[in-house]
Chain A
Amino acid sequence: MLKTLIIQFLRMSKVSLLLFLALLVSNCSYNITDEEKLESFYTLHKPEGEFSKFNKVVVINELGGCLNCTSMFVNEIKDSTFKTNILFIVSSSGAKVDISPFIDSTKSNIIWDSNSDFDEFDILKKSGVIYLDSNSKISKKELIN
């Protein structure tokens, strides 16, 4: 039910989605889970994609105290983008962290969230990896710095 509602909002705009989720979180007794936020965000950017195929989500953002560490992390994982079971969410404008391997990429497992909208969901405080089990539930979160 909730998922259907979210999908309907996804058809509208990012702003609507964020407002909707914010309203849900602030006003409703229902607590939206990180998994639901994650899947909604994915569906927003990849409406035709299949979220259940991912077992890892690599999040690259501009948060945290060591952005050089994040740039090094990007350098380490940049060759993993061919792995279709890993989703990359690049929540960076590119000004603070070197995301050059992801710019202009057309790979379906990369979301370039240049306006850092994903940060608003507050799922990860810094760059890191979210591990998903076979039911797409978050089993572990790992921060890189």
Chain B
Amino acid sequence: MKLFPHLIIILIISSCSSNRTNKKTLKKIDEIDFSVGFAPSVIKHFAYNGEEYVGFADFKSFKKIKLFNINARSQYSFSIKDIIKNELVYINGLSFSSPDSIALLSSSGTSKLFIVNKKGEVIYKKDYSFLKGQETALYPPIEFKGNQIRVGLSYYGKENTPALSKEYYDNFFKDKNESYIMMSDTLFRGHTLPTLQMDSLYMRFIPKSVNNTEMNHLLYLDTKNIFYSTYSDSVYEYDLNGQLKEVFSIKSTKTKTKVNPISISEMMMDKNNLFIKNIEDNSYIALLLWDKFRSVYYAIIPGKKMSAKKTPFTILVLDEKFETLDEFTMNPDKYYFTRFFYYPCFVGKKGLYIQNQNKDVKNTNYSIFTYE
């Protein structure tokens, strides 16, 4: 009988330690410093011939693209000033198919796509500006893989969006809607026309009386596209033919994810500030990343902005079916997140790269986390 309490204690200890070893966590394993030389507005990670690369771009001030391998060794850097000057466009989309094949998308409704080589020379150009006459424009994010491009598409119109159908596709440019959708195009097959791949998305969440402007929330994967919205706590999984396959609800255990859209009349009276404040004060799925090496998604959920440079955020780790595995609170004094324009994180073979708070704008320093 005297042995009984001892056995209980041993059992408790062994079960605790077994839990501890099974419990995965988001563990910081390393830091890496990319000497970019400018503050990037776009970051793209990609793999080519078994090597990992990270491309950085600034389209506003320095107008440069710089490529590193994953060990932060510089591969090349080139200016895009000539493209901007010669083509009379601004650039806001970037995607690498290989280190020597880079897609650039022009902004502000000009809808031009350029494929450049590692010297920054334009080797292929495709003009979608005919869309502008139909109040339609291409928007990032773009994904350039093989000979195909996937890109966001915005258009404006009157009616509510019908379900995706042959008629809808046929009448796509006639029955325009306020919406943000995506299309794909086979780049190098002559005069191919864009293929509509998703039906309308915004209209699922909000009536026409409210402002539907938000960030571009599309995650392009090899076999599917995933859409998520500031105004929804769900993610929408589409196959590559544009069929909605499944809707998954995502729940943060630490933050209430809810943004109520503001009305267009309110927004007009307030010159956009209300929209910014609404986004900055609330939590939502701001970024979704797929980690193919560990078969998990990371959903970044920002909290209320603390100061000009500090936004608290959590990282939700989700399995392939978007079931929550865990959620981690990140220290905004150490780690940088911004809701607008550019998301300073990416996934590589080593893990999840999160940008550190950094005093030196010309060095982009990351912490690497693994979920294990």
Contact = CB atoms under 8 A, between A and B. Distances in A.
Determine if chain A interacts with chain B: yes
Interface of A: 14, 61, 63-66, 71, 92-100, 103, 114-116, 119-120, 145
A115 B359 contact: yes
A63 B308 contact: yes
11 contacts: A14-B359, A61-B308, A65-B275, A93-B38, A94-B361, A95-B39, A95-B40, A95-B61, A100-B62, A103-B62, A145-B271
Main secondary structure, interface of B, reads: loop
B308 A116 contact: yes
Which 4 pairs, one residue from A and one from B, show the smallest C-beta to C-beta distance? A65-B272, A94-B61, A93-B39, A119-B308
Nearest to A90: B61
Contacts of B41: 95-96
A96 B60 contact: yes
A58 to B, nearest CB: 17
Contacts of A71: 60
Contacts of B276: 64-65
Main secondary structure, interface of A, reads: loop
Contacts of B271: 65-66, 145
Interface residues of B, number: 24
A96 B361 contact: no
A97 B308 contact: no
B49 interface: no
Given A95-B41, A95-B342, 15 more contacts: A64-B272, A65-B276, A66-B272, A92-B61, A94-B58, A94-B61, A96-B340, A96-B341, A97-B61, A98-B60, A114-B39, A115-B360, A119-B309, A120-B307, A145-B272
Contact of A95 (B58, B272, B309, B359): B58
A14 B307 CA distance: 17
B34 to A, nearest CB: 14
A54 B45 CA distance: 46
B63 interface: yes
Interface in B39-95: 39-41, 58, 60-63
Interface string B264-276: 0000000111011
A145 B342 CA distance: 22
